[in-house]
């Protein structure tokens, strides 16, 4: 009956070449090489997932979870062949020297996936995307795939400081990222508006620092007084919850890189522990704690406040370069390293209002003592001290491109967000780079030119096609220098993203385009084919998984 079915299916396909086309061309990101065969294979509920290695069996079980949603059944997972039933062989063996590469062969005899631990996982994602229900039968097209990513770093940053998101929601995003073969979640855990990670030694970080007061009038960009929503927002992850996220991500071959912002974007910390700031503490608070404005919109930069601010922008409350502050940060980072096994720790470094240090006696003392030229060099001194501590503990730092100012820390990787300039400079200096330019990869920007048709966002216009057009290797780099560009990341800042639905809406469908930007070279990408062959199927898949996404104009026309 299997042969008969195959024959029938083959006939159907002969009559409808378009179906064959769409079935093999819908894997997203599109594989590097794919040769379509003729006909299909019926995936029966008895088909065995045969996996000798433990990691392959874990991937097989996760595949089953996805498969059940699509087909209503799971496949038996076995460690050694027990029967002569058809199998999906998962053979763990590194392909082409790349642990993320894989081959997927579907013949009328059966299915074989070969690759390193991550490669096997990706092969299973591709297989899942090929499964199509035809009537009550689960069918896969006969095909030969040899696939590998163009870039080793494929990331999405989630800002959980401006708004807190539950572990369930973070897991949902990790599930979706895994299907699209992303391998890094950059977790922006701290910022002015909230500290989101339990630190045992400093309980006030979450008791005080995790809750912001949105009734405070603030200033933003154009100095207009501004109230967000007047609500008290907050929340944090216990260390156990953070570990659970790390494990959950690792099972899906995603590394979680935590970000602990310093020396700026630190109002939440300094609301809890003002003694680590740049000014002497008087009566429990430090001068310069908050850059509030009065009702007339006049800046009150030297207000004394111990509150976590509920508005956005660059805040003046930054760490002081003191032994106490360094001691605190080393304690915090020690707990962070214990939770997060990632080689990289992101230390922020962006938007430090260095003029604040000009009026700080504490900062000026250090500038003099260390014979630094100015506040830029003071920032560099600050970052280098933190780098030394993390390097000593076997970790590497990533920082936003401002860490170039005043001298780049010797082993730092640079995340280029203000366009590609910082990334290009860093790569030319022999430093590794991750491209995340706000021109192309800021998913907090609007998805339509007419902003009035869209939910409130921070500004900017970033349509799907613009995301897709991005390629992380700038022409300005030689081949040698370009090797320092590890990959790409989109950033989801959440100032105006206060619900799970909105988070998904701003991520999708743009994350679908990003997946292909990260997996393919400039030459291999094809927007028309992305829109025609892969986008519709992916939108269906998102819908089936209960994801709230924006319907792109491209899919409607
Ligand atoms: C700049 S990007 C920031 C963030 C904001 C973002 C809004 C970066 C390193 N800093 O603090 O959320 O703009 O788009």
In whole angstroms, what is the distance from residue 99 CA to residue 433 CA? 21
DSSP 411-422: T-EEEE-SSSHH
Q: Is the Cβ atom of 261 under 6 angstroms away from ligand 1?
A: no
Q: Of all atoms in ligand 1, which is nearest to the CA of residue 402?
A: 9
Q: Is the Cβ atom of 442 under 6 angstroms away from ligand 1?
A: yes
Q: Is the Cβ atom of 526 under 6 angstroms away from ligand 1?
A: no
Between the CA of 24 and the centroid of ligand 1 the distance, in Å, is 39
Tell me the two tokens of residue 276.
């680590």
In whole angstroms, what is the distance from residue 156 CA to residue 137 CA? 35
Within 10 Å of residue 303's Cβ, how many Cβ atoms? 18
Q: Of all atoms in ligand 1, which is nearest to the CA of residue 348?
A: 9
Atom 4 of ligand 1, residue of closest alpha carbon = 493
Active site residue 68: no
What SS3 state is found at 31?
Answer: coil
pLDDT value for 382: 98
pLDDT value for 286: 54
- Beta strands across the sheet bearing 299-304: 281-282, 285-293, 299-304
Atom 7 of ligand 1, residue of closest alpha carbon = 493
In whole angstroms, what is the distance from residue 210 CA to residue 14 CA? 61
Between the CA of 507 and the centroid of ligand 1 the distance, in Å, is 16
Between the CA of 68 and the centroid of ligand 1 the distance, in Å, is 39
* Tally: H helices and E strands in the chain: 20, 25
- Going from the C-alpha of 367 to that of each of 248, 281, 358, 361, 399, the distances in angstroms are 44, 20, 10, 10, 22
Q: Is the Cβ atom of 314 under 6 angstroms away from ligand 1?
A: no
Question: Which residue from 84, 90, 88 is spatially nearest to 75, judged by alpha carbons?
Answer: 88
pLDDT value for 491: 98
Backbone angles phi, psi at 103, to 5 degrees: -120, 145
Write out the H or E segment, with its range, that includes residue 541.
Answer: helix 535-544
Q: Is the Cβ atom of 137 under 6 angstroms away from ligand 1?
A: no
Q: Is the Cβ atom of 444 under 6 angstroms away from ligand 1?
A: yes
In whole angstroms, what is the distance from residue 325 CA to residue 333 CA? 12
Between the CA of 509 and the centroid of ligand 1 the distance, in Å, is 21
pLDDT value for 41: 96
In whole angstroms, what is the distance from residue 543 CA to residue 557 CA? 19
- Going from the C-alpha of 189 to that of each of 199, 200, 260, 335, 348, the distances in angstroms are 12, 16, 6, 14, 10
Q: Is the Cβ atom of 350 under 6 angstroms away from ligand 1?
A: yes
CB 342 within 8 A of CB 257: yes
Q: Is the Cβ atom of 313 under 6 angstroms away from ligand 1?
A: no
Question: Which residue from 183, 127, 113, 190 is spatially nearest to 151, judged by alpha carbons?
Answer: 183
How big is the chain by its Cα radius of gyration, in Å?
A: 25
Between the CA of 348 and the centroid of ligand 1 the distance, in Å, is 11
Give the single-character DSSP code of 530: I
Give residues with Cβ within 8 angstroms of 553, minimum separation 6.
none
pLDDT value for 314: 81
In whole angstroms, what is the distance from residue 247 CA to residue 9 CA? 41
Q: Is the Cβ atom of 192 under 6 angstroms away from ligand 1?
A: no
Atom 10 of ligand 1, residue of closest alpha carbon = 350
For the chain, residues with pLDDT lower than 70 are 1-22, 83, 214-228, 230, 282-306, 555-557
| From 351, 465, 524, 537, the catalytic residue | 351
Give the domains, in start order, of the chain with CATH numbers: 2-147 (3.30.379.10)
pLDDT value for 310: 79
Q: Is 532 exposed, middle or buried (0-12, 13-18, 19+ CB in 10 A)?
A: middle
ipTM of the modeled complex: 0.96
Q: Of all atoms in ligand 1, which is nearest to the CA of residue 418?
A: 2
Indicate the top mutation candidate among 350, 441, 489 to test ligand 1's pocket, ranked by most ligand atoms within 8 A of CB: 350
| pLDDT tens column, 508-527 | 999 999 999 999 999 999 99
Q: Is 2 exposed, middle or buried (0-12, 13-18, 19+ CB in 10 A)?
A: exposed
Give the single-character DSSP code of 533: I
Q: Of all atoms in ligand 1, which is nearest to the CA of residue 162?
A: 12
Between the CA of 493 and the centroid of ligand 1 the distance, in Å, is 7
Atom 8 of ligand 1, residue of closest alpha carbon = 350
Indicate the top mutation candidate among 493, 494, 495 to test ligand 1's pocket, ranked by most ligand atoms within 8 A of CB: 493
pLDDT value for 70: 92
Q: What is the pTM of this model?
A: 0.92
Q: Is the Cβ atom of 505 under 6 angstroms away from ligand 1?
A: no
In whole angstroms, what is the distance from residue 435 CA to residue 416 CA? 5
Q: Of all atoms in ligand 1, which is nearest to the CA of residue 494?
A: 12
Indicate the top mutation candidate among 221, 491, 506 to test ligand 1's pocket, ranked by most ligand atoms within 8 A of CB: 491
In whole angstroms, what is the distance from residue 143 CA to residue 120 CA? 16
């Amino acid at each position: 009956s299997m042969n008969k079915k195959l024959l029938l299916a083959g006939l159907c396909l002969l009559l409808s070449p378009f179906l064959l086309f769409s079935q093999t061309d819908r894997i997203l990101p599109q594989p590097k090489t794919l040769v379509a065969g003729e006909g299909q294979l019926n995936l029966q509920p008895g088909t065995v997932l045969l996996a000798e290695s433990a990691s392959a069996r874990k991937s097989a079980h996760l595949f089953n979870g996805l498969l059940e949603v699509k087909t209503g059944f799971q496949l038996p997972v076995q460690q050694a062949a027990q029967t002569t039933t058809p199998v999906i062989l998962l053979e763990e063996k590194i392909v082409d020297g790349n642990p993320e590469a894989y081959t997927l062969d579907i013949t009328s005899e059966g299915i074989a996936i070969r690759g390193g631990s991550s490669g096997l996982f990706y092969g299973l994602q591709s297989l899942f995307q090929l499964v199509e229900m035809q009537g009550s039968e689960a069918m896969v097209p006969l095909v030969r795939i040899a696939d590998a990513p163009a870039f080793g770093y494929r990331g999405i940053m989630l800002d959980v400081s401006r708004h807190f998101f539950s572990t369930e929601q973070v897991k949902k995003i990790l599930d979706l990222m895994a299907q699209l073969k992303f391998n890094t979640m950059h977790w922006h855990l701290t910022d002015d508006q909230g500290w989101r990670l339990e630190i045992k030694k400093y309980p006030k970080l979450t008791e005080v620092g995790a809750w912001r007061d949105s009734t405070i009038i603030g200033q933003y960009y154009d100095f207009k007084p501004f109230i967000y929503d007047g609500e008290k927002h907050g929340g944090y992850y216990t260390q156990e919850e953070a570990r659970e996220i790390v494990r959950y991500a690792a099972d899906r071959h995603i590394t979680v890189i935590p970000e602990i912002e310093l020396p700026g974007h630190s109002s939440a910390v300094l609301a809890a522990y003002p003694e680590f700031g740049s000014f002497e503490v008087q009566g429990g608070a430090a001068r310069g704690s908050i850059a509030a404005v009065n009702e007339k919109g006049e800046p009150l930069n030297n207000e004394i406040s111990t509150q976590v601010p509920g508005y956005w922008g660059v805040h003046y409350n930054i760490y002081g370069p003191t032994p106490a502050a360094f001691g605190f940060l080393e304690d915090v980072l020690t707990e962070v390293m214990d939770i997060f096994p990632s080689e990289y720790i992101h230390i922020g470094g962006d938007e430090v209002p260095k003029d604040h240090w000009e009026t700080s006696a504490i900062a000026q003392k250090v500038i003099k003592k260390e014979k630094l030229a100015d506040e830029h060099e003071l920032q560099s001194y600050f970052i280098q001290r933190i780098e030394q501590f993390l390097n000593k503990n076997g970790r590497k730092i990533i920082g936003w491109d401002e860490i170039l100012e005043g001298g780049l820390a010797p082993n730092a990787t640079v995340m280029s967000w203000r366009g590609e300039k910082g990334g290009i400079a860093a790569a030319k200096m022999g430093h590794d780079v991750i491209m995340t330019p706000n021109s192309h990869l800021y998913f907090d920007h609007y998805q339509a030119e007419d902003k009035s048709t869209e939910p409130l966002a921070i500004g900017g216009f970033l349509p799907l096609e613009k995301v897709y057009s991005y390629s992380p290797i700038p022409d300005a780099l030689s081949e040698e220098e370009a090797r320092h560009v590890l990959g790409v990341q989109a950033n989801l800042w959440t100032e105006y993203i206060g619900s799970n639905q909105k988070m998904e809406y701003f991520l999708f469908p743009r994350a679908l385009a990003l997946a292909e930007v990260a997996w393919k070279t400039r030459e291999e990408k094809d927007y028309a084919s992305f829109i025609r062959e892969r986008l519709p199927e992916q939108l269906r898949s998102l819908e089936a998984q209960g994801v709230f996404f924006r319907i792109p104009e491209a899919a409607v026309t």
